[in-house]
Amino acid sequence: MRLISSRIRGMKDLLPEESEKWIAVCETIRSEARLYDFKFIRTPVIEHTEIFERSAGDSSDIVNKEMYTFTDKGGRSVTLRPEGTAGVMRAVLENGLHNQTLPLKLMYNSSCYRYEKPQAGRYREFFQFGLEIFGSSSPLADTELICLAGSILQRLGIKNIKLDINSIGCVNCRKNYLEAIKTYFAEKNLCETCKIRLESNTLRILDCKNSKCKEISSKAPLVTDYLCTECEDHFNGVKDSLKSLGIDYNLNPRIVRGLDYYSRTVFEFSTDIEDTSLVICGGGRYDGLSELFGGSYLPALGLGIGIERVLMIMEHQKINFEHNEPLEVYIAAADDKSRLYALKLCELLRKSSVSAEADLLERSLKSQLKYADKVGAYYTIFLGQEELEKGEAKMREMNSKKEYIISIGEKFLEDFLSVQLKKFGL
Each residue of 33-82: pLDDT tens digit? 998 999 999 999 999 998 888 776 554 556 566 888 999 999 999 999 99
The residue segments making up the domain with residue 381 are 329-419
State whether 128 and 241 are in the same domain: yes
Percent of the chain clearing pLDDT 70 (strictly above): 93
Q: Where is pLDDT greater, at 21 or 274?
A: 21
State whether 46 and 138 are in the same domain: yes
Res. 173 pLDDT band, cuts 50 70 90: confident
Mean pLDDT along residues 276-293: 90
* Span 138-159, pLDDT tens digits: 999 999 999 999 999 998 999 9
Predicted pLDDT of residue 261: 76
Q: CATH code at 241?
A: 3.30.930.10
Q: What is the mean pLDDT of the chain?
A: 87
State whether 413 and 287 are in the same domain: no
**Sheet with 46-48, edge to edge strand ranges:** 46-48, 77-80, 68-71
- Domain count within the chain: 2
Res. 7 pLDDT band, cuts 50 70 90: confident
Q: CATH code at 381?
A: 3.40.50.800
Res. 257 pLDDT band, cuts 50 70 90: low
Mean pLDDT along residues 308-315: 90
Res. 426 pLDDT band, cuts 50 70 90: very low
State whether 56 and 152 are in the same domain: yes
Domain boundary among 281, 316, 351: 316
Domain assignment present for 206: no
Q: Where is pLDDT greater, at 209 or 238?
A: 238
Domain boundary among 295, 316, 337: 316
| CA pseudo-torsion sign 391, 360, 355, 423 | positive
State whether 140 and 86 are in the same domain: yes
Please state the pTM of the whole predicted model: 0.80
Residue 416 to residues 3, 227, 376, 396, 423: CA-CA distances in angstroms?
47, 68, 18, 11, 11
State whether 119 and 256 are in the same domain: yes
Q: What are phi and psi of 322, to 5 degrees?
A: -85, 90
State whether 237 and 383 are in the same domain: no
Percent of the chain clearing pLDDT 90 (strictly above): 53
**Is residue 365 over pLDDT 50?**
yes
Which residues are bridge partners to 286 per DSSP?
none
